[in-house]
A and B are shown apart, each in its own frame.
Chain A
Amino acid sequence: MGKPTGFLEYQRRDRSYEPVDERLKHYREFVRPLSEDELRRQGGRCMDCGTPYCHTGCPVNNLIPDWNELIYREDPRTALAVLHRTNNFPDVTGRICPAPCEASCTLNLIEDPVTIKTIEHAIVERGWAEGWVEPVVASRRTGKRAAVIGSGPAGLACAQQLARAGHDVAVFERNARIGGLLRYGIPDFKLEKSVIDRRIAQMRAEGVEFHPNSNIGVTRPVGDLMARFDAVVFAIGSEVPRDLPVPGRELAGIHFAMDFLAQQNRRVGGEKLAAPDILATGKHVLVIGGGDTGSDCIGTSNRHGAKSVTQIEILSMPPEHEDKLLTWPDWPMKLRTSSSQEEGIKRDWSVSTKMFTGKDGHVTGLSSARVEWRTSNDGRPLMEEVPDSDFEIKADLVLLAMGFVHPVKQGAVAETGLALDARGNLKADTENYRGSVDKVFCCGDARRGQSLVVWAIREGRQCARAVDEYLTGSSDLPR
């Protein structure tokens, strides 16, 4: 809370970015932190709400008012402890979370929300800088063994919690390095990989074993794990991308976003590339899909030196300002511009792709049409094409960033015979995270479908508690 009248006295101030022409020259993070004084004032804006909407607005239920207060009272060390109480990786969320907490902040109803994410980031970075972040080594070992398949945010959070509860945990990752989506999906300019590495170091100290290059169900049978471990957690992500099955889809130069992004991350990380280069350098890039992955494609393309970058979205353009009385504290549909979009982009909405056009087997553009959206009688959105609205967009690199439909079923899932829900995700509930097969647990995007990193962390933590209960009969791990 800091200061009861802080919100009346201080304006919201947030971190700034390096200028665009500077930051486009490299793949490093480009956020400039607030000064400590300013940060303290920003913490003082928190109103210590009797009903803190941010608490439930945040998927991991971060104790936001508590650490705002501690920052205002200049007690960063306790703030760090409180922050870690609900979140294993605030250094990740402090960088890449869209911050639903800020949308739900009570101050957002009447003016600008508290800079929650900035404060979170500052607390944890201060903690690393001061050496306050330490491994939490379990005081007793249970002797139980748990395997976690997948080292994305859900898998890592789950593994860390289980290790802290005293279990022997092994994490299996099919890629060469640990981190899953964090390492391969998110560009370095948003999340430098050293952030993951230091967490891996921490987890190693806590007793977690990591097994990269282990594609369970492919390079190593699941049965092997099932035999050797007391519990097996599937945190395999939701990796099957949504495709755009229109004429011309087979043309060269049309790629799924993740192929493009992962390759760039490997390149920055000095890994050997298995596939041919996908580079935007000197190209007209078209990004289909208006979400975060789309933005990452834009930022990467601009850094490659694309001639132009265009982004289209099938939905209509959202309003610039939401009607807060009807949306707060929920996440509102409104026009947002990401830092990558700021770096140079043409955006268009209500565009439907009818076919890709190409020359010599390589894409050159696409034919598209305008659509209109209306609401059906039962409240569902309906799309209609606007007659005679066809138009062409020029492109020689098309990146499909339209989301992910469900986890990969070949391999581990198929081998285990796990049941799926109607959407093709692994079936398990949020009470006990149990898969349909004994001793199997499922969490993260693989269970809930594609979502935010912060949701993945929540699922990993809760799943760990469920596993702990399963293994020992009860659990002291927080829900």
Chain B
Amino acid sequence: MQARQGLYDPRYEHDACGVGFIANIKNRKSHAILAQGIEILHNLAHRGAVSADPLAGDGAGILIQLPDRLFRSEAERLGFSLPEPGAYGVGMVFLPRSAETRRACEAVIAHFVAAEGQTLLGWRDVPVDPSVLGDSIRPNAPVIRQCFIARGANCVDADALERKLFVIRKQAHKELRARGLPDSGNFYIASLSTRTIIYKGMVICERLAAFYKDLEDERAESALALVHARFSTNTFPSWELAHPFRYLAHNGEINTLRGNINWMMARRHSMTSKLLGADLDKLWPLIGDGNSDSATLDNCLELLVAGGYPLPHALMMMVPEAWSENPLMDPDRRAFYEYHAALMEPWDGPAALAFTDGRQIGATLDRNGLRPARFFVTDDDHVVMASEAGVLDVPEERIVRKWRLEPGKMLLIDLERQRIIDDDELKAEIATAKPYQQWLDQTQIKIESLPDEIAPMAPPRAVLLDRQQAFGYTQEDISFFLKPIALSGEDTVGSMGRDTPLAVLSSRPKLLFDYFQQRFAQVTNPPIDSIRESLVMSLVSLVGPRPNLLDLETGGKHIRLELHKPILTNVDLEKIRRIEDNTGGTFRTSTISICYPAADGARGMRAALDAICTNAEQAVRGGHNIIVLSDRLVAPNRIAIPALLAVAAVHHHLIRGGLRTEVGLVVETGEARQLHDFCLLAGYGAEAINPYLAFDTLSALRHEFDKELSEAEAHEAYIKAIAKGVLKVMSKMGICTFQSYCGAQIFDAIGLGADFLDRYFTGTVSAIGGVGLDEIADETMRRHRLAFGDAPNYRDALDPGGDFAFRVHGEAHAWNADTVSLLQHAVRGNNYRKFKEYTRLVGEQEKALISLRGLLDFDYPADPVLLAEVEPAREIVKRFATGAMSFGSISWEAHTTLAIAMNRIGGRSNTGEGGEDPQRYKPLPNGDSMRSAIKQVASGRFGVNIEYLVNATDLQIKMAQGAKPGEGGQLPGHKVDDWIARTRYSVPGVGLISPPPHHDIYSIEDLAQLIHDLKNANREARVSVKLVSELGVGTIAAGVCKAYADHVTISGHEGGTGASPLSSIHHAGEPWEVGLAETHQTLVLNGLRGRIAVQVDGGIRSGREVVIGALLGADEFGVATAALIAAGCVMMRKCHLNTCPVGVATQDPELRRRFNGTPEDVVTLFMFLAEEVRELMAKLGFRNFDEMIGRTDKLKQRTDVDHPKARHIDLARILHRPDVPAGTKMHQCETQDHRLGRALDHQLIAACRPAIEKGEMVVVDLPIRNVNRTVGAMLSSEIARRYGDRGLADGTIRARFVGTAGQSFGAFLARGVTFEIEGAANDYVGKGLSGGRLIVYPPHASKIERDKAIIVGNTVLYGAIAGECYFSGVAGERFAVRNSGAVAVVEGAGAHCCEYMTGGIVVVLGETGTNFAAGMSGGIAFVLDESGKFPQRCNLAMVDLEPLADQDEHIETLEHRGGDLEMHGLVDVVHSLTQSDAKLLHGLVARHAGFTQSPKAKTILANWERYRARFVKVMPIEYRRALLQIQARTRAAERPEVSVAVGAAE
């Protein structure tokens, strides 16, 4: 692995991949199983990645049972003999290349084997063929040897030996890491076990067996094979990080890793084990820092197993199902999870985990089912499980079961009991093994059950004001947060971006909270929709000591206190304070004040903190088990230490002492008020928070509210909003449970020094260094003085703040009255002199430190070049793009003005996430074009059909947005007018939700798949991925490049927005300087930079900033806010209110008339920018732009800064130039090989020429396999280029496939094309379906009932726009997610079916999973509910359930619905039917039967009247209202004379 350098840090590497296994249920060992394992690996190869070197994979591996026959004869050959199976273990050891170090390693192993009382039998050189390794790998490949260890007398059985081997391995690793011999980094024991062995390495999947000769050796036999193909974002993968690990292989990511590691460390002193005894101590540190998340997960699992937990039990503890919000769960199982919640915080994140100990093999999925796992069972006792279907060819008639792993479920094959144990049985067995409910009853107290207390009264106004000021309250805290939150119960929203300085650059005293930015998920793991998928979320917090992790028997004596949310009312806090009296002394609470004498001044804070930590430690040692850190005693002579600092300091102090799990940590603080504050306190260890001053403030404010609110109601609304907000912030990182968020430290620091962070916030990093305790204490002191001083402006008022809107005595804003008006005057008057005046002002702001780049200066060379020799401005402007703003967030006028301007100069404008009106594809008579060159593909997929895709120059996948990374969006119904609805293929008046994640991207290999899909849909377009700057974004960008993106955008946190939560605008993401530099450095370090263009955006305003961007490594530049300002925006920050007075960000026709922008003004802006860039290039000595890219040697950090905080910043890591060989590419100059050559579509297109060119009917028959991905997209692009959305006449092309289709089958399939599969299909079938027809049914030979077999995978019909589908079988999770117009019939579906659907019809002829219709705002679903359980599985937040109307009502229904269905452009099938629900449904079922020969459909049709009554219709409430409105309007238009009556009826 590469060492940390510049901004590159290996800690941010991620991986994801393909995983699979095969096992013989009867535990029959054979070489065939091994060979089949290898075959599965081959067929998963497309899920792995290769780096610049085509033979250098990210890693592949296989885990098998010990091949005893092979080893026995090999041992004999080597001159030693093996005892009976179970009495010896084998180690697979990677050794350093240096012979000397190698000998030392072997000696260390020998030493520990002996020390632990076992016998080292001998060593074997593992036969390998290094010639199959990549050139970049071979020179550093380890020497691979196996060691054989026989059981010693101190071990009674194989389990005991297994534990000893674990102890030996841990000690050997620790010893060798500690010795730090040269090259010892290569030392690694891949496995050391009596049961299993792992062959893995930096080999591409196809070559694994060629590399390890053992795998091809017929003597190697196993009854199971677990395989893994790795895709690492990480560019420097290593041998040891290849999977499988000792117990598991993992596809996914652990988001809570930092917290999990901390908590493991924290419980060291509370842990004892009967089984491990004294050996337990030898195992520390349990987790080697710097390991990957998967390796860490494996470390923990290994400990639990060694400690005596059965393997599935351990996994249930670590990756529990969603239990707290699931009312349907069996009480025993619920008790099991609730009990274990106190033992272990969940390891949270997307995960498909395949695990084995050689005796059992199985798999489990995370609570939200974010990774795919399909399996089948054959009649000859084989089970095959893999990330996708079709990885192993097995005759269909042999298959007796075909299914998928469902969210949170487990599949286990017990080879000793020789049977499959399914989830229900397995978990019932485990959950009832011990009396968990009884244990719970003994040890658990819920806060509600404690006797009521009386909270203190709020202080008088004058005291309140002083306290507010001491804690830095501003007027904006009141007007932007507390007041609106109390009135609405929602966190507040704002617009435009953040253009204020970082806390460390600000000259105002900032709260410590402001120095931290929230981290968020992008690409390698998905954010979660905490609203629509709330059933997986939990805010339960446990306060108090944790039980001994390895106590399996007693249930423990520790009492724990359970809260449903971590925010405490004043009453709750009193209950906790007095808990000792009410629990008979089992709980003892100690309140520790975090205030210290003001007389000690700022310099007194360090000692005060130390004293608090000591007090806390003494309290714990003295038997207190809850600590309340409190700043209630703040007073003129008592300064409050920032609560966050106190909490983190105590938390880490207790972790270091191994005491943290002995005690609960609660904070009572006046400082916390905004959402971000709570997240930080929890993230650094507070299990519960009482924001008493926020409550006091609300109590005082209450009298100013327009509506009547009791004190309790105001407090309640505030708690509700904050709780909801905390869930949202957790979900941004993909974390579902508060317990694992607590202490997980999901934050980057900006501008805090390493010493300070290491001491108090251990594990958190600032890329730019920064201030320490002294400066933080000074700021606190300044606030304190002002609060209790005599300043006239603070006598009766709070500080204005000015963070969220410009205020004259508030925070500085880059966009202020002067900069906005100067820029506008300059472009409108085409006055370059004025523009220079504007950039001079921008320069002055920079110098005054409004952003990091203000700390940079150019290092001009002595030899400038002549301006005339510099690349002309008309070339430079081609590097510019405007921002992604949807038509919907900005007006038609503003949107087209930007598009025309950018097209004139050869730059690019961006559609944003709103589709594009096809009229814009045609050039205007004057030669202008309104077509946006960049077509965005975002999570809502609005209007993303094949016509849209082929009309793009760039296709941009928006992974995150600078103003709200990790969050989705919502366009409320009242903003969706006719035009916007048409462009987005939705219904006017119906709200549209963009989910937080792309539901087809839960990991890096999914992103690779979407890139592949888009490239197939438009081969000419560049595919771009938009990321947001955070630490680690460079590693993600490298992964994006390896996923074959042509272009990557790094957005700074300054980026704008039409509407985002204020906490996200201000507290998520990093400045672009950091992300861009890290991206460039990481790409250069591994030779990928030439393959991908890097764009930067987020607050670029001047030529100077463009040049800094280029020197830090950008090829291209996005300029959004400045372009909008050139077009008339005046930074009203009212986009989210639709009241933009200058017609930019509004749809109000009255306001749109006031739009006064012109394309000329926008062109002028970009020409001016380019001109200024040229001037700087001349001074810097560059003639060509490309030469300038990445030349950080032309930048230097200013030395003339005497800002008290900023002078601590160190930009060396940003300015670092990677040490790479000469000739390494520094800018984009190559193209990606997208590997489209192998696409099946080439054959299809060739065969369909007559159809494409002349519209003749064509029928094609082809076999299909899982490696044939995105079949149909390229064909559809050929059709769309010629015929647009209209496509071909229905039935023109008919393609019939046999086999299992790869991912994204039928993506974007155009009108006139029918695809039919006899077999099955994987994930993402019919993604973006654009009018085509898809039919999938199982092979005729199949013996399984179709409504019990899986037929298509997860996330089918995502963003489908039109077309129809008939799937004769069960679909996976999220069927028809965000469908906007397709019609689909399926015989069963997984969880979250019809999520976010906005149009179309879905018919489910069988069981559905839970959370049906979450976020469904439009379209209709019909579900056959034979069991009567459907209402419980449906999310009723947005839909009504109704029976199908009786025949008698048909006339009425027909009247109502007729026009509507037509209006939505539903496919012909609907149009031609009579328009009653029953007839519509009957027709669809009949077509299903016709196309698929479905027995179920036939049965239904044959017994129609009986079945009809069992169908439930799912009708979105908003959709119905919108349809009625449209209908009323249509009628009124047709019959104006009755319009009055209709209006009155409404």
Contacts and interface: CB of A to CB of B under 8 A. Distances in A.
A49 B1132 contact: yes
B829 A476 contact: no
Contacts of A427: none
Given A8-B1150, A85-B797, A50 B808 contact: no
Nearest to B1130: A106
A49 B1139 contact: no
A479 B789 CA distance: 17
Contact of B793 (A55, A56, A136, A478): A478
Given A50-B1131, A85-B797, A139-B790, A479 B805 contact: no
A227 to B, nearest CB: 30
Contacts of B806: 50-52, 55
Contact of A329 (B805, B821, B829): B821
A51 B809 contact: no
B807 interface: yes
A140 to B, nearest CB: 7
A326 B790 contact: no
Interface in A39-79: 47-53, 55-57, 61, 63
Contact of A136 (B496, B792, B807, B820): B792
Contact of B792 (A52, A106, A478): A478
Contacts of A382: none
Contact of B815 (A48, A51, A81): A51
B1130 A7 contact: no
B816 A51 contact: yes
B1150 A51 contact: no
Q: Is the interface of A mostly helix, strand, loop or mixed?
A: loop
A164 B793 CA distance: 12
B817 interface: yes
B404 to A, nearest CB: 49
A139 B789 CA distance: 11
Interface string B1477-1493: 00000000000000000
A56 B792 contact: no
A406 B809 CA distance: 31
B791 interface: yes
Interface in B789-835: 789-794, 796-797, 800, 805-809, 813, 815-818, 820-821, 824-825, 828-829
A106 B1141 contact: yes
What's the interface size class on A, roughly? 35 or more
B1236 interface: no
Given A4-B1137, A52-B806, A85-B797, A325 B1156 contact: yes
A26 to B, nearest CB: 39
A177 B919 CA distance: 75
A190 to B, nearest CB: 28
Interface in A279-316: none
Contacts of A252: none
Nearest to B1158: A325
A135 to B, nearest CB: 13
A47 B1156 contact: no
A476 B791 contact: yes
Q: Is the interface of B mostly helix, strand, loop or mixed?
A: loop
Contacts of A7: 1141
Contacts of A49: 805, 1130-1133
A52 B815 CA distance: 11
Contact of B828 (A52, A85, A325, A477): A325
B797 A61 contact: no
B1156 A329 contact: no
- Interface centre among B495, B797, B1142, by most A CB within 10 Å? B797
A53 B793 CA distance: 22
B922 interface: no
A13 B1000 CA distance: 57
A329 B1133 contact: no
B1201 to A, nearest CB: 19
A420 interface: no
B1433 interface: no
Contacts of A329: 817, 821
A133 B1132 CA distance: 34
Interface string A84-115: 01000000000000000000101101100000
B434 interface: no
B816 A56 contact: yes
B848 to A, nearest CB: 14
Contacts of A107: 1141
A85 B813 CA distance: 22
A51 B813 contact: yes
Contacts of B790: 139-140, 476
B1225 interface: no
Given A325-B828, A329-B821, A51 B792 contact: no
Given A56-B817, A106-B1132, A326-B825, A476 B789 contact: yes
A56 B815 contact: no
Contact of B496 (A50, A325, A330): A50
A207 to B, nearest CB: 15
A430 interface: no
A51 B820 contact: yes
A85 to B, nearest CB: 6
Contacts of B495: 50
A61 B808 contact: yes
B1139 A53 contact: no
Contacts of A52: 805-807, 817
B1456 interface: no
A5 interface: yes
A330 B1325 CA distance: 59
A453 B1269 CA distance: 76
Interface string A461-479: 0000000000000001111
A56 B818 CA distance: 9
A109 B1130 contact: yes
Nearest to A139: B790
B808 A56 contact: yes
Contacts of A476: 786, 789-794
A404 interface: no
A104 B809 contact: no
Contacts of A478: 792-793, 809
A55 B813 CA distance: 13
B816 A479 contact: no
Given A47-B1132, A85-B793, A53 B817 contact: yes
Contact of A50 (B791, B794, B805, B1151): B805
A328 interface: yes
A301 to B, nearest CB: 39
Contact of B1132 (A50, A56, A326): A50
B818 to A, nearest CB: 7
Contacts of B1134: 4, 47-48, 50
Given A107-B1141, A110-B1141, A326-B828, A51 B805 contact: yes
Given A7-B1141, A49-B1130, A55-B808, A328 B793 contact: no
A57 B821 CA distance: 12
Interface string B548-585: 00000000000000000000000000000000000000
Interface in B820-876: 820-821, 824-825, 828-829
Contacts of B805: 48-52
- Interface centre among B496, B791, B808, B1151, by most A CB within 10 Å? B808
15 contacts: A8-B1139, A48-B805, A49-B1132, A51-B805, A51-B817, A56-B817, A63-B807, A81-B797, A106-B1132, A164-B792, A326-B829, A329-B821, A330-B821, A476-B786, A476-B793
Given A50-B495, A51-B1133, A52-B805, 12 more contacts: A50-B1131, A51-B816, A106-B1132, A110-B1154, A325-B1156, A329-B821, A330-B821, A476-B790, A476-B792, A477-B791, A478-B792, A478-B809
Interface of B: 495-496, 786, 789-794, 796-797, 800, 805-809, 813, 815-818, 820-821, 824-825, 828-829, 1130-1134, 1137, 1139, 1141-1142, 1150-1151, 1154, 1156
Which 7 pairs between the two chains have the least Cβ-Cβ distance? A50-B1133, A476-B791, A61-B808, A51-B1131, A56-B817, A55-B808, A53-B817
